[in-house]
Structure 1
Amino acid sequence: MKFRLMKLFILPLSIAIMASGCGNMDDNAPEQEKADEAIEVDKGIETEGGGNQTVTVELKNTDGATVGTAVVEAENEGVKISLRADHLTPGVHGFHIHEKGICESPDFKSAGGHFNPTDKKHGFDHEAGPHAGDMPNITVKEGGTVEEEIVNEFVTLEKGKENTLFSDEGTALIIHSKADDYISQPAGNAGDRIVCGVISDPK
């Protein structure tokens, strides 16, 4: 989405520059300012309502060391989470949003259970699920790195909504030691919590 929007802005800007090539450079200032402003909005820095709709989450392991980041960004269809991390155990891991923005090592139990404002059962394969905080498993490569992009359609960054990630207690991203089986209660038998990051309201 971001790439397509930028392409739309580049074309009219190029036409404007060609049309005024023999004029004063100052004549291009209004067009350039408009293009720059449009790109800033596309980055998710600020919405029309004036609220910050992008937040970068610092991810830490059980030793308190930073192992990556997750950029959480508002989308029309929900919230996009762009995950980049390293120094992880290769394999498939559960990846969830938890109900409290507290990451106390070494077990991260302070983050509470899965984010579940609508009181669903856990798992995409459960007839009464999933939790709003349930997300697809992630795969860590042999070198210990992971880079994935997930869109969660069950949550929002809009304040005041029942399913907002900017709740009073905050929320957190958790990576588990094992894969989520998508049906076992209450957390998909995903094992220990090995990475945690607080989703903070930038205000």
Structure 2
Amino acid sequence: MILATAALAGCAAVEPAAGARASVQLEPTRGNTAAGRIEFVQQGDRVLVRGTLSGLQPENAEHGFHVHEKGDCSSGDGMSAGGHFNPLGKPHAHGTSERHAGDLPAIRAAADGTASYLVEVDVITVRAGPTSVLGKALIVHRDPDDYSTQPTGNSGSRVACGVIHAD
């Protein structure tokens, strides 16, 4: 009995380190309806980003999706979140190994304005460190990201904002 209890206690202590987690509740900015919940799960040196969104422009509309440098959504327009999260000084160039940490693949909305999101990225962490998303803001933009305009991707106004917190 004591041995079984010790083994279970040992497993419980290992699990959080193997899969640190964070989440964010996205709320609409002033005049918008986009909202959702996104989770971040550390898996080795990669992070699984998954969740659902609603209130997006419908009919296959694409929206820029970025981690921003400040964990502040207090302004009605999301501008209090600052610029893209870029702790290593990389360019805005999604799809390359030389991209900044704030670059996430775009969200594509279904005909009803909802979206499911599931990607795995290698430029952020949920653990403490320079590329940690903890305490940063996650922003949904009105327009598609062009993946080349520096430093923002020319993805338009901010339609939803939330602060990423450890779970």
Query: Above 0.5 in TM-score?
Result: yes
Question: How far off its partner does 1:158 sit?
Answer: 1.6
Q: Relative contact order (C-alpha < 8 Å, sep 6+): which is higher? A: 2
Work out the CA distance in 1 between the residues paired with 2:87 and 2:126: 14
CA contact (8 A) 1:120 1:129 kept: yes
| Superposition map of 1:21-32 within 5 A | 30=4
Aligned: 1:59 with 2:26? yes
Q: Which residue identity does 1:165 align to in structure 2?
A: V
Work out the CA distance in 2 between the residues paired with 1:188 and 1:65: 22
Partner of 1:4: none
Q: Which residue identity does 1:198 align to in structure 2?
A: V
TM-score, with length taken from structure 1? 0.69
Aligned: 1:71 with 2:36? no
> How has the CA–CA distance of structure 1 residues 53 and 71 changed in structure 2, closer, same or farther, with 3 Å as cutoff?
same
| Superposition map of 1:10-159 within 5 A | 30=4, 46-48=15-17, 53-63=20-30, 67-90=35-58, 91-124=61-94, 129-159=98-128
Aligned length: 161
Work out the CA distance in 2 between the residues paired with 1:178 and 1:65: 14
Question: How far off its partner does 1:66 sit?
Answer: 7.7
Q: Which runs of 4+ in 1 moved over 6 A?
A: none
Q: Which residue identity does 2:63 align to in structure 1?
A: H
CA contact (8 A) 2:40 2:49 kept: yes
Q: Which residue identity does 1:142 align to in structure 2?
A: A
CA contact (8 A) 1:60 1:67 kept: yes
* RMSD (CA atoms): 3.0
Moved more, 111-120 or 98-107: 98-107
CA contact (8 A) 1:86 1:146 kept: yes
Question: How far off its partner does 1:176 sit?
Answer: 0.4
Richer in strand (by share): 2
> How has the CA–CA distance of structure 1 residues 152 and 95 changed in structure 2, closer, same or farther, with 3 Å as cutoff?
same
- CA deviation string 1:34-77 (max 9, x = no partner): 5xx96x78xxx95248xx82122111001497821001111113
Alignment partner of 1:110: what SS? Answer: helix
Work out the CA distance in 1 between the residues paired with 2:113 and 2:82: 27
Partner of 2:160: 195
> How has the CA–CA distance of structure 1 residues 186 and 48 changed in structure 2, closer, same or farther, with 3 Å as cutoff?
closer
Question: How far off its partner does 1:104 sit?
Answer: 2.1
Richer in helix (by share): 1
- CA deviation string 1:89-140 (max 9, x = no partner): 12001111111111124210111111101111112278x9411110111101
Runs of 5+ unmatched residues, structure 1: 1-26
- Percent of residue pairs identical: 35
Alignment partner of 1:151: what SS? Answer: strand
Question: How far off its partner does 1:153 sit?
Answer: 0.4
Work out the CA distance in 1 between the residues paired with 2:82 and 2:46: 22
Q: Which residue identity does 1:47 align to in structure 2?
A: P
